[in-house]
Structure 1
Amino acid sequence: MLSIIIVLILCYLIGSIPSSLWMGKIFYKVDIREHGSGNAGATNTFRILGWKAGTIVLLFDFGKGLLATAVISQLAYSIGDGPITFYEKWDVNSMLLILSGLAAVVGHMFPLYANFKGGKGAATACGMLYGIEPVSISISLAIFLILMFSTRYVSVGSIFASLLYPFSQLTLRYGFDFDIDGSIILFSSALALGIIIKHKGNIKRLLNGTENRIKSFKPSGGRLNKEESSA
């Protein structure tokens, strides 16, 4: 038990690193939380600081989730008596991956180093999922990009990518003999359901024909840069 607690604390501390906040304060002398949506995440960084800063923050936040699941989680095997499982039919390593990744996501959403005011955790969650099982999340990412670019609706890509995520894992496990533990599939199903429920407002707007579409895929220069150039 002690090994799991130590690993979860480490993953939380890594997830707590507020990349967008530090990017804004160190290089642009602004608090990203005081602009745009007020969210300390990659999306708001793209919007306010531009594509270069946004890309760095996105990759960093993605890396936090990936590091937590792919590397930090495995430290549990070298601490004390090693990890234990809370449910005897669950694979121990799968449980470690899930819990470690979630700890990093919670850290991103409620960062210790930023008064517990963080982002929504999407990029960190994506990194976590890559660390848990990379093939199925790669399929979902491809679906997301195809639908986003073809329909110009981010919500359409998000909804269908989430919906198909657990089904791709089922297909990989039973159709191609991938070693994917049942606990991971259950976790993926709960995650997909939560994302779809979170998009209920988007679904209503899509049905009503009032959902916002992406007007241009041209890299953003950042709202602050535009304001400075026009001042």
Structure 2
Amino acid sequence: MLSLLSVIAICYLIGAIPSSLWYGKIVHNVDIREHGSGNAGATNTFRILGWKAGTIVLLFDFGKGLICTLFVSQLAYQIGSGPVSFYEGWDVDSMVLILCGVAAVVGHMFPVYAGFSGGKGAATACGMLYGIEPLSISITLAIFLIIMFSTHYVSLASITGAFVFPFSQLILRYGFDWYIDGSIMIFSSLIALGIIVKHKGNIKRLIEGNENRIQSFKPSEGHLKQKADS
């Protein structure tokens, strides 16, 4: 039990690294939370600091979830007597992957390094879920890209992707006999629900018709750079 709790704590601390906040302050001397939507995430970084900064932050946030599930989770088997299941019938390997991934996502949403005010968790959750079950998250990513490029709403694409993801796992398991552990399906659904809830402000703005769009997918220098040059 101690080994699992230790690794969960490590994953939380990795997930809590506020990449957009630190990158903005170190490279641009800007607190990303004071501009745009005020969210410390990749989308706001794209909007405010430009495509290069946004891409770096996006890949870093994705990597936090992926690293925690693929690599850090394995430390649980190296500490003490290793992990034990919380209840009979729960596959230990799946449990370790899930809990480590969830810890990274929670860390991203509520980072201890930034006053527990973080991003919405979509990129980190995507990395975490890719490390656990890559096929269903690849399908979800394709849907995300279709929605984003067709509507220019990143928030709508994230919400739609989160909503579709659990159903893609159900279809794969029961429609195509693709084995996915039941515990993974349950926790994937909870993560998807958490992402949707975290986007409640965006949902309200979408309904009211005043949600921010990405005006162009061509490389830009960001709003701050544009303002400085004008």
Q: TM-score, normalization: structure 2? A: 0.88
Match of 1:91 in 2: 91
Match of 2:166 in 1: 166
Contact 2:122 2:158 (8 Å CA) reproduced: no
Partner Cα distance (1:20, 1:206) in 2? 24
Tell which structure's C-alpha radius of gyration is larger: 1
| Aligned-partner residue type, residue 124 of structure 2 | T
Distance 1:209 1:106, change over 3 A: closer
Partner Cα distance (2:35, 2:209) in 1? 29
Deviations, residues 143-183 of structure 1 (Å, cap 9, x unaligned): 11112222344454334323321222122223433331001
- Cα deviation for residue 51 of structure 1 reads 0.7
- 1:128 and 2:128 matched: yes
The percentage of aligned residue pairs carrying the same residue is 74
Contact 1:65 1:105 (8 Å CA) reproduced: yes
| Aligned-partner residue type, residue 225 of structure 1 | K
Match of 1:17 in 2: 17
Contact 1:62 1:123 (8 Å CA) reproduced: yes
CA RMSD of aligned residues (A): 2.4
Partner Cα distance (1:115, 1:197) in 2? 20
Please give the residue correspondences for 1:27-176 in structure 2 after superposition, counting only pairs within 5 Å: 27-176=27-176
- Cα deviation for residue 92 of structure 1 reads 1.0
2:38 match: secondary structure = coil
- 1:223 and 2:223 matched: yes
- The runs of 5 or more residues in structure 2 that have no matched partner are none
Partner Cα distance (2:38, 2:210) in 1? 24
166-175 vs 156-165, greater mean Cα deviation:
156-165
Partner Cα distance (1:141, 1:121) in 2? 15
Partner Cα distance (1:228, 1:161) in 2? 35
Count, aligned residues: 230
| Aligned-partner residue type, residue 189 of structure 2 | S
Q: TM-score, normalization: structure 1? A: 0.87
